[in-house]
Amino acid sequence: MSERRGLSPTAAGIAFFVCVPLVMAGVIPWWMTRWQFQPPLLDIDAGRWLGAIMIAIGLPLLISAIAWLAHEGVKPYPPIKRLITNGPFAYTRNPMYLGVVLVMTGQGLLLGSRGVFIYGLSWFTAFYIFEITIDDPFIRKHIGQPYDDYMKNVPCWIQRRPRRAKTVK
């Protein structure tokens, strides 16, 4: 009888959810800038503050989404078995995408790096296209009406309070 070695599916999922954003929002921006400050973009010092705020919002959002997925035992590959609608997923359907984009574009603004800022915006564009053309239809196919209801009540990107169900009189 052969023993199976390697990471459990849950551990592999957690490793994926941690390593990919770490490379995208940490290693690559560091490689591009060595985290050296440049003159502010458009010569606007307020952009640095905006960048810091974006990082301060995006990083905890990203970490909480990863932690929530690990807590729920979600894996980064099909089949989709259930819909996660609590934790950060109650406020945005894409907390990991939103968090990583906020961190990347925030670094661009904070460091005055046009390249990192454009890199972050490019990933936002890619995530947006992926979400509309691939992810939403795929999840809708596997989850059905509960996902349609979730889409009606929770925005794709911008966080806000979830809508309360209307009571029928």
Higher pLDDT, 82 or 105: 105
Q: For 119-156, what is each residue's pLDDT tens digit?
A: 999 999 999 999 999 999 999 999 999 999 999 999 99
- Domain assignment of residue 24, yes or no: yes
Confidence of residue 168 (pLDDT cuts 50, 70, 90): very low
Read off the pLDDT of each residue in 76-103 and give the average, rounded to a whole number: 89
- Domain assignment of residue 126, yes or no: yes
- Domain assignment of residue 1, yes or no: no
- Domain assignment of residue 14, yes or no: yes
The number of angstroms, rounded, from the C-alpha of 28 to the middle of its chain's C-alpha atoms is: 16
User: What does the mean pLDDT of the chain come to?
Assistant: 88
- Domain assignment of residue 165, yes or no: no
Confidence of residue 16 (pLDDT cuts 50, 70, 90): confident
What string of DSSP letters covers 68-108? HHHHHT--SSSPP-----SGGGGT-S-HHHHHHHHHHHHHH
- Domain assignment of residue 99, yes or no: yes
- Domain assignment of residue 163, yes or no: no
CATH number, residue 145 = 1.20.120.1630
Domain residues for the domain of 107 are 9-153
Q: For 20-61, what is each residue's pLDDT tens digit?
A: 999 999 999 999 999 999 999 988 899 999 999 999 999 999
Total domains in the fold of the chain = 1
Would you mind telling me the total number of residues written for the chain in this entry?
169
Q: What is the pLDDT, as a whole number, of residue 169?
A: 52
Read off the pLDDT of each residue in 81-101 and give the average, rounded to a whole number: 93
- Domain assignment of residue 169, yes or no: no
Q: What is the pLDDT, as a whole number, of residue 131?
A: 93
The model's pTM is: 0.86
